[in-house]
Every structure is written in C-alpha cells, then in structure tokens.
Amino acid sequence: MDINLKMDEQYFLTDALTSEKNISGLYNTFASECVNTNLKKTFLDILKDNHALQTYIFNELTSRGWYSVTQAEDNKISQTRTKFENKMN
C-alpha cells in the first residue's frame, strides 16, 4: 500500500471520528432541550444513527491499528465506581 494513501485514509478516518463525536454532543444537547415530542424523537433517532456511525469508524480505525485504547484494569474500574457511588450518596 502506498504510504501516502495510508496516511490519507488514517487522517480521513480520524477526522471523521472526531467530527462525529462533536456532532453527537450537539444532537444530545438538542434532544435534551427539545420541548416538541416529535422533534425530540427525531433528534434521538439521529443521535442513535450517529452513535452507530461512530462505532463503525472506531472499529475501522482500531482494526487497522490507527487508534489504540488501553484496557482499564478491573481494580481501577472498581475504584472509580466506588468513588462516584460515594459522591451520589
């Protein structure tokens, strides 16, 4: 594979994922603050589609080794859960 093509694809997919993350924040706000029930449902449907697209792009990036995520350790997850549960009480 041509290195320039690889960098172009990686840049494009990374940019697409970043854009979709930002857009989902907007749709989330619109849905949360919408008083019209039908419009709210429309925004929630769009948000669901947006999340599916984000997952697809994320999986594509990770499968190509262009986006790595570190697995959280079980004890760190438990500590964080306990911390936030204590704050809620």
Reported as a single tens digit per residue, the pLDDT across 31-68 is 999 999 999 999 999 999 999 999 999 999 999 999 99
CA-CA distance, 26 to 64, in Å (whole number)? 28
Quick one: pLDDT at residue 1? Answer: 57
Q: What does the mean pLDDT of the chain come to?
A: 91
CA-CA distance, 74 to 85, in Å (whole number)? 16
Could you identify the residue written with the tokens 């907007």?
A: 26
Which of residues 88 and 49 earns the better pLDDT score? 49
Domains of the chain, by residue range, sit at: 3-88
Query: What sign results for the dihedral spanned by CA atoms 69, 19, 10, 62?
Result: positive
Residue 3's pLDDT band, with cuts at 50, 70 and 90, is low
pTM of the model: 0.74
Q: Is 80 exceeded by the pLDDT of residue 6?
A: no
CA-CA distance, 33 to 54, in Å (whole number)? 23
